[in-house]
A = this chain, B = another copy of it.
Amino acid sequence: MLQDKEVITLAVVDDHPMILEGVQRVFQPEQGVTVAGTFTNGNDFLGFLQQQQVQVALLDITLPDMSGVELCRKVKQLCPDTCVLAFTNHQERAVVMQMLQNGAGGYLLKNMGPEEFLQCVREAIQGQITFSAEVKQIMARPTPQDLKSIPPLTRREKQVLQLVAEGKTNPQMAEELSVSILTVETHRKNLMQKLEVKNAAALVKAALECRLL
């Protein structure tokens, strides 16, 4: 869709100025890439996009005003032709999946070298889904953890879970939530069932692992 000979225009969004500097140093016109803009937050970049398009957008996941995933979706809405690449430290398979679901054209980890970086961007321009070497590994072997999705909890269940983690007993929770002890017991039971554990200690551990707390 794009000619190889054209100069590629690229933008970077990252809350670490030093990364922005680094990207500008790596992508020089000699390599056929121009850095059209660098931004430390998502909204600045979205503003920029309304005036000027870029062919490649490099997005960090952790940004001050919104997540990179969210930003990715908004960018693709605004400019469907822009190739969005994650450029981040997050190694979680789930995050990679989220980016892809929101239209990202690839996922790069910051610990890769400049050569690989250039190579990936060139691949991405040609319309290929692009992963840096380590990401390929991550995608290739999903852990059992990755495969079991986090069960949806009801509002009450989340409250009870929170209180359980704080060490509250059933009578205390019943008091605090103004319900009967028996009700609290039911929620607790359902929580343990959903997270497939057999007692409160394991429940708290599982919940923390799923970032439910």
Give me the interface of A with B, judged by CB distance under 8 Å: 15-26, 89, 110-114, 117, 164-167, 169, 197-205, 208, 213
Task: Check if B17 sits within 8 Å of A20, measured CB to CB.
Answer: no
Alpha-carbon gap, A177 to B139, bound state (A): 38
Task: Check if B25 sits within 8 Å of A21, measured CB to CB.
Answer: yes
A interface SS class: helix
Alpha-carbon gap, A21 to B117, bound state (A): 12
Alpha-carbon gap, A111 to B18, bound state (A): 8
Cβ 8 A contact of A26, one of B18, B167, B199, B204: B18
Task: Check if A201 sits within 8 Å of B111, measured CB to CB.
Answer: no
CB distance from A29 to the nearest CB of B (A): 15
Q: Which residues of B contact A15 (CB under 8 A)?
A: 111
CB distance from A157 to the nearest CB of B (A): 15
Q: Which residues of B contact A201 (CB under 8 A)?
A: 164-165, 167, 200-201, 203-204
Q: Which residues of B contact A89 (CB under 8 A)?
A: 16
Alpha-carbon gap, A112 to B21, bound state (A): 12
Task: Check if B24 sits within 8 Å of A110, measured CB to CB.
Answer: no
Q: Which residues of B contact A23 (CB under 8 A)?
A: 18, 21-22
